[in-house]
Amino acid sequence: MSTYAVTGSASGMGAASAARLRAAGHQVIGVDLRDADVVADLGTAEGRAHAVREIIRLADGRLDGVAAVAGVGPQLRDAGAVVSIDYHGPVALLGGLRPALAASGAGRAVVISSNSSTTVPMIDEELVRLLLAGDEEAARARARAATAALPEEIAANSPRISAYASSKFALSRWVRATAVTPAWARASVTLNAIAPGAVVTPLMTGSTMKEEDLDADRFPTPMPLGIFGRPEDIAFWVEQFLRPEARFTTGSVLFVDGGTDAAMRPRAQPTAMTR
């Protein structure tokens, strides 16, 4: 039996991931704002530090894996909170838990990014730079200012979409850069990301429409398979990345989006290396 920590365990993809791991016989330490083994707000430095301490305590200092699933969508009113929760939350949590993952001798970590990082043409490069630099206060201020400056037609529909997409873009960049550093790779701790597309969760329906109104053929982005994802579709890949056998995969970003990214950017991958 392995010991895993799963953030966002009270609902959606986090709940599905925790349930799948428990069904396989593993110990799961759930983290969320409510109904969890560790109740913590990952949008604050204090909440992240509390979560790290409690997870390590409950795991006796040794973790086999972490699934950083907790996140919010562009419907959140405060763009500053979006970047704190969606970027700084998982980055700080995983940084704090890395020694416990290394202690297992084969730690596994997976985070939830989004295909919005590649399919939304509103990535704020300055915000991404601030996020990757670790300047949370400056990033929060930038996200709020950029949101206030959006054109009215965009602000009316999804005013925090740039903050959301930019946070997920930066998170994927962080995963790729961090996974190959000696502190992670040479400690046999793998780090990967999953980029979901339109998955029917409270986060998605709360920001776009009611579930009964969803129509894959009329969705704003292409849906080649003609279906929407379910939390269980993401939980499947969370478990795969956390398995001991996933020893040769790190720094990867896996799109689990029904083909949306491939349909919108068919020539984006592979990209040839240039001199």
Q: The CATH number of the domain where 42 resides is what?
A: 3.40.50.720
Torsion of CA 66, 254, 43, 105, to 10 degrees: 20
Q: Is 51 within a domain?
A: yes
Q: Is 29 within a domain?
A: yes
- Average pLDDT score over residue span 164-169: 97
DSSP type of residue 267: T
Q: What confidence tier does 6 reach under pLDDT thresholds 50, 70, 90? A: very high
User: Is 28 a residue whose pLDDT tops 80?
Assistant: yes
Active site residue 87: no
Pairing mode of beta strands 65-68, 38-39: unpaired
pLDDT in tens, 94-108: 999 999 999 999 999
Q: Is 38 within a domain?
A: yes
User: Is 140 a residue whose pLDDT tops 80?
Assistant: yes
Q: Is 36 within a domain?
A: yes
Q: Which residues pair with 67 in a beta bridge?
A: 6, 110
User: Is 130 a residue whose pLDDT tops 80?
Assistant: yes
Which one is catalytic: 48, 98, 106, 164? 164
154: amino acid identity, one letter: I
- pLDDT at position 156: 58
Q: Is 217 within a domain?
A: yes
Q: Is 30 within a domain?
A: yes
Q: What confidence tier does 201 reach under pLDDT thresholds 50, 70, 90? A: confident
Q: What's the alpha-carbon Rg for the chain, to the nearest Å? A: 18
Residue 20, token pair as written in the block: 């799948």
Helices 89-103 & 161-179 angle (0-180, nearest 10): 20
> Are 101 and 55 contacting, i.e. CB atoms less than 8 angstroms apart?
no
- pLDDT at position 122: 87
- pLDDT at position 202: 77
Indicate the number of domains in the chain.
1
Structural domain that includes position 188: 3-259
Q: Is 133 within a domain?
A: yes
User: Is 93 a residue whose pLDDT tops 90?
Assistant: yes
| Dihedral sign from CA coordinates of 23, 26, 31, 35 | positive
Burial (Cβ within 10 Å: 0-12, 13-18, ≥19) of residue 268:
exposed
Q: Is 182 within a domain?
A: yes
pLDDT in tens, 207-245: 555 667 788 888 989 999 999 999 999 999 999 999 999
Residues whose CB falls within 8 Å of the CB of residue 270, separated by 6 or more in sequence, listed in order: none
pTM above 0.85, yes or no: yes
Q: What confidence tier does 158 reach under pLDDT thresholds 50, 70, 90? A: low
Q: How many CB atoms lie within 10 A of CB 258?
A: 25
Residues whose CB falls within 8 Å of the CB of residue 234, separated by 6 or more in sequence, listed in order: 13, 16, 17, 112, 194, 196, 199, 256
Whole-number Å distance between alpha carbons of 105 and 128? 32
